[in-house]
Amino acid sequence: MGIQDRKTREHEQLRQSILDAALRVLAEEGYGRVSMRKIASLIEYSPTTIYRFFRNKEDLLRAIAGRTYADLSARFEQARAEQGSDPLALLGACIREYMTYCVEHAEMYRLLSDVARFEVESGVVYERIGEIRVRVYQSWLECIGQAIARGAFAVRDEMRVFLFVWDAVSGYIDHRIGHPGIPREPIDEDAAAFVNLVFRALEARAEG
Protein backbone atom coordinates (compact mmCIF):
# COMPACT_ATOMS: atom_id res chain seq x y z
CA MET A 1 0.00 0.00 0.00
CA GLY A 2 1.33 3.42 -0.97
CA ILE A 3 1.70 6.42 1.30
CA GLN A 4 -1.28 8.21 -0.25
CA ASP A 5 -3.49 5.13 0.10
CA ARG A 6 -2.51 4.81 3.75
CA LYS A 7 -3.25 8.49 4.39
CA THR A 8 -6.64 8.17 2.72
CA ARG A 9 -7.49 5.14 4.82
CA GLU A 10 -6.38 6.84 8.03
CA HIS A 11 -8.38 9.95 7.11
CA GLU A 12 -11.56 7.88 6.64
CA GLN A 13 -10.92 5.93 9.85
CA LEU A 14 -10.56 9.15 11.83
CA ARG A 15 -13.68 10.61 10.25
CA GLN A 16 -15.60 7.47 11.18
CA SER A 17 -14.26 7.62 14.75
CA ILE A 18 -15.47 11.23 15.01
CA LEU A 19 -18.93 10.27 13.74
CA ASP A 20 -19.18 7.33 16.15
CA ALA A 21 -18.13 9.49 19.09
CA ALA A 22 -20.48 12.30 18.07
CA LEU A 23 -23.40 9.91 17.78
CA ARG A 24 -22.73 8.54 21.24
CA VAL A 25 -22.42 11.96 22.86
CA LEU A 26 -25.39 13.42 20.99
CA ALA A 27 -27.61 10.46 21.90
CA GLU A 28 -26.60 10.48 25.57
CA GLU A 29 -26.64 14.23 26.25
CA GLY A 30 -28.99 15.66 23.66
CA TYR A 31 -28.23 17.93 20.74
CA GLY A 32 -28.47 21.16 22.70
CA ARG A 33 -25.88 20.20 25.33
CA VAL A 34 -23.16 18.87 23.04
CA SER A 35 -20.01 20.74 22.11
CA MET A 36 -17.29 19.88 19.64
CA ARG A 37 -14.90 19.92 22.60
CA LYS A 38 -16.77 17.04 24.28
CA ILE A 39 -16.64 15.00 21.10
CA ALA A 40 -12.94 15.72 20.66
CA SER A 41 -12.22 14.73 24.24
CA LEU A 42 -13.91 11.37 23.77
CA ILE A 43 -11.57 10.38 20.95
CA GLU A 44 -8.57 12.15 22.54
CA TYR A 45 -8.07 14.72 19.80
CA SER A 46 -8.19 18.49 19.86
CA PRO A 47 -11.35 20.32 18.73
CA THR A 48 -9.28 21.70 15.86
CA THR A 49 -9.07 18.18 14.45
CA ILE A 50 -12.86 17.86 14.50
CA TYR A 51 -13.22 21.14 12.61
CA ARG A 52 -10.97 19.79 9.87
CA PHE A 53 -13.78 17.35 9.04
CA PHE A 54 -16.98 19.11 10.14
CA ARG A 55 -17.82 22.81 10.37
CA ASN A 56 -20.21 22.52 13.33
CA LYS A 57 -22.73 20.28 15.10
CA GLU A 58 -25.23 20.72 12.30
CA ASP A 59 -22.68 19.43 9.83
CA LEU A 60 -22.02 16.42 12.07
CA LEU A 61 -25.72 15.73 12.36
CA ARG A 62 -26.10 15.90 8.59
CA ALA A 63 -23.35 13.33 8.19
CA ILE A 64 -24.89 10.98 10.76
CA ALA A 65 -28.34 11.32 9.19
CA GLY A 66 -26.91 10.82 5.70
CA ARG A 67 -25.18 7.62 6.74
CA THR A 68 -28.37 6.35 8.37
CA TYR A 69 -30.53 7.06 5.32
CA ALA A 70 -27.96 5.45 3.03
CA ASP A 71 -27.77 2.32 5.17
CA LEU A 72 -31.56 1.95 5.33
CA SER A 73 -31.97 2.62 1.60
CA ALA A 74 -29.44 -0.11 0.83
CA ARG A 75 -31.34 -2.54 3.06
CA PHE A 76 -34.65 -1.66 1.42
CA GLU A 77 -33.19 -2.11 -2.06
CA GLN A 78 -31.83 -5.51 -1.07
CA ALA A 79 -35.27 -6.47 0.22
CA ARG A 80 -36.81 -5.33 -3.08
CA ALA A 81 -34.37 -7.54 -5.01
CA GLU A 82 -35.20 -10.54 -2.84
CA GLN A 83 -38.99 -10.19 -2.53
CA GLY A 84 -40.01 -9.55 -6.11
CA SER A 85 -43.32 -7.92 -6.97
CA ASP A 86 -45.51 -8.96 -4.01
CA PRO A 87 -46.20 -5.62 -2.25
CA LEU A 88 -47.17 -7.18 1.08
CA ALA A 89 -44.04 -9.35 1.18
CA LEU A 90 -41.87 -6.37 0.30
CA LEU A 91 -43.57 -4.16 2.89
CA GLY A 92 -42.99 -6.82 5.54
CA ALA A 93 -39.34 -7.16 4.56
CA CYS A 94 -38.76 -3.39 4.66
CA ILE A 95 -40.39 -3.10 8.08
CA ARG A 96 -38.31 -5.98 9.47
CA GLU A 97 -35.13 -4.41 8.14
CA TYR A 98 -36.08 -1.07 9.68
CA MET A 99 -36.89 -2.59 13.07
CA THR A 100 -33.67 -4.58 13.17
CA TYR A 101 -31.55 -1.62 12.10
CA CYS A 102 -33.06 0.74 14.68
CA VAL A 103 -32.70 -1.72 17.55
CA GLU A 104 -29.11 -2.53 16.57
CA HIS A 105 -28.32 1.22 16.26
CA ALA A 106 -30.13 2.40 19.38
CA GLU A 107 -27.99 5.54 19.82
CA MET A 108 -28.80 6.67 16.29
CA TYR A 109 -32.49 5.97 16.83
CA ARG A 110 -32.58 7.95 20.09
CA LEU A 111 -30.78 10.87 18.49
CA LEU A 112 -32.96 11.11 15.41
CA SER A 113 -36.11 10.60 17.50
CA ASP A 114 -35.03 13.57 19.59
CA VAL A 115 -34.13 16.01 16.82
CA ALA A 116 -36.15 14.89 13.78
CA ARG A 117 -39.59 16.21 12.90
CA PHE A 118 -41.92 14.66 10.35
CA GLU A 119 -43.90 16.56 7.75
CA VAL A 120 -46.44 15.36 5.19
CA GLU A 121 -46.85 17.29 1.98
CA SER A 122 -48.97 16.15 -0.99
CA GLY A 123 -48.92 12.56 0.24
CA VAL A 124 -45.15 12.50 0.71
CA VAL A 125 -43.57 11.95 4.15
CA TYR A 126 -40.49 14.01 4.93
CA GLU A 127 -38.12 13.88 7.88
CA ARG A 128 -36.68 17.26 8.82
CA ILE A 129 -33.49 17.67 10.81
CA GLY A 130 -32.67 21.35 11.08
CA GLU A 131 -32.39 22.58 7.52
CA ILE A 132 -32.23 19.04 6.13
CA ARG A 133 -35.43 17.60 4.68
CA VAL A 134 -35.42 14.08 3.26
CA ARG A 135 -38.15 11.92 1.77
CA VAL A 136 -38.61 8.85 3.97
CA TYR A 137 -40.83 5.77 4.05
CA GLN A 138 -41.70 6.08 0.36
CA SER A 139 -41.10 2.37 -0.19
CA TRP A 140 -43.60 1.64 2.60
CA LEU A 141 -46.20 3.97 1.12
CA GLU A 142 -45.78 2.51 -2.37
CA CYS A 143 -46.23 -1.03 -1.07
CA ILE A 144 -49.27 -0.04 0.97
CA GLY A 145 -50.85 1.63 -2.05
CA GLN A 146 -50.29 -1.48 -4.17
CA ALA A 147 -51.62 -3.74 -1.41
CA ILE A 148 -54.76 -1.61 -1.11
CA ALA A 149 -55.26 -1.81 -4.88
CA ARG A 150 -55.15 -5.61 -4.58
CA GLY A 151 -57.77 -5.59 -1.83
CA ALA A 152 -55.46 -6.53 1.05
CA PHE A 153 -56.76 -3.85 3.44
CA ALA A 154 -60.28 -2.64 4.12
CA VAL A 155 -59.05 0.87 4.84
CA ARG A 156 -58.61 2.52 1.45
CA ASP A 157 -56.63 5.49 2.70
CA GLU A 158 -52.93 4.84 2.02
CA MET A 159 -51.69 7.42 4.53
CA ARG A 160 -54.00 6.15 7.27
CA VAL A 161 -52.76 2.57 6.86
CA PHE A 162 -49.18 3.86 6.86
CA LEU A 163 -49.75 5.73 10.12
CA PHE A 164 -51.29 2.63 11.74
CA VAL A 165 -48.23 0.59 10.81
CA TRP A 166 -45.71 3.33 11.62
CA ASP A 167 -47.22 3.97 15.06
CA ALA A 168 -47.13 0.27 15.90
CA VAL A 169 -43.56 -0.20 14.69
CA SER A 170 -42.30 2.95 16.45
CA GLY A 171 -43.92 1.84 19.70
CA TYR A 172 -42.23 -1.55 19.50
CA ILE A 173 -38.80 -0.01 18.86
CA ASP A 174 -39.22 2.56 21.66
CA HIS A 175 -40.13 -0.14 24.19
CA ARG A 176 -37.46 -2.58 23.08
CA ILE A 177 -34.73 0.06 23.36
CA GLY A 178 -36.14 1.77 26.46
CA HIS A 179 -36.78 -1.40 28.48
CA PRO A 180 -33.84 -3.73 27.84
CA GLY A 181 -34.56 -5.76 30.99
CA ILE A 182 -37.72 -7.28 29.54
CA PRO A 183 -36.91 -10.72 28.09
CA ARG A 184 -37.54 -10.92 24.36
CA GLU A 185 -36.69 -13.10 21.41
CA PRO A 186 -33.75 -12.06 19.16
CA ILE A 187 -34.71 -9.00 17.16
CA ASP A 188 -34.84 -10.73 13.76
CA GLU A 189 -37.24 -13.40 15.07
CA ASP A 190 -39.29 -10.93 17.10
CA ALA A 191 -39.58 -8.48 14.19
CA ALA A 192 -40.89 -11.22 11.89
CA ALA A 193 -43.50 -12.29 14.46
CA PHE A 194 -44.49 -8.66 15.10
CA VAL A 195 -44.98 -7.90 11.40
CA ASN A 196 -47.09 -11.02 10.98
CA LEU A 197 -49.35 -9.94 13.85
CA VAL A 198 -49.76 -6.41 12.45
CA PHE A 199 -50.61 -7.73 8.99
CA ARG A 200 -53.07 -10.27 10.39
CA ALA A 201 -54.83 -7.47 12.26
CA LEU A 202 -55.12 -5.41 9.10
CA GLU A 203 -56.28 -8.42 7.10
CA ALA A 204 -58.83 -9.25 9.79
CA ARG A 205 -60.36 -5.80 9.27
CA ALA A 206 -60.64 -6.58 5.59
CA GLU A 207 -62.54 -9.81 6.36
CA GLY A 208 -64.88 -7.99 8.74
Mean pLDDT, rounded, for 62-85 = 88
128-182 pLDDT, tens digit each: 887 788 888 999 999 999 999 999 888 889 999 999 999 999 999 999 999 999 9
122-131 pLDDT, tens digit each: 889 999 887 7
Q: Tell me, what's the pLDDT at 204?
A: 53
Q: Is the pLDDT of residue 66 over 90?
A: no
The strand pairing partners of 134, in sequence order, are 127
Q: Tell me, what's the pLDDT at 45?
A: 87
207 confidence band (pLDDT: 50, 70, 90): very low
How would you write the chain as a 3-class SS string? CCHHHHHHHHHHHHHHHHHHHHHHHHHHHCHHHCCHHHHHHHCCCCHHHHHHHCCCHHHHHHHHHHHHHHHHHHHHHHHHHHHCCCHHHHHHHHHHHHHHHHHHCHHHHHHHHHHCEEEEECCEEEEEECCEEEECCHHHHHHHHHHHHCCCCCCCCHHHHHHHHHHHHHHHHHHHHHCCCCCCCCHHHHHHHHHHHHHHHHHHHHHC
- Which residue ranges form the domains of the chain, and what is each CATH number? 3-54 (1.10.10.60), 61-207 (1.10.357.10)
Residue 53: how many CB atoms within 10 A of its CB? Answer: 14
Q: Is the pLDDT of residue 205 over 70?
A: no
Q: Is the pLDDT of residue 89 over 90?
A: yes
pTM: 0.85
Q: Tell me, what's the pLDDT at 206?
A: 42
Q: Tell me which residue of 153, 151, 121 sits closest to 134, measured CA to CA.
A: 121
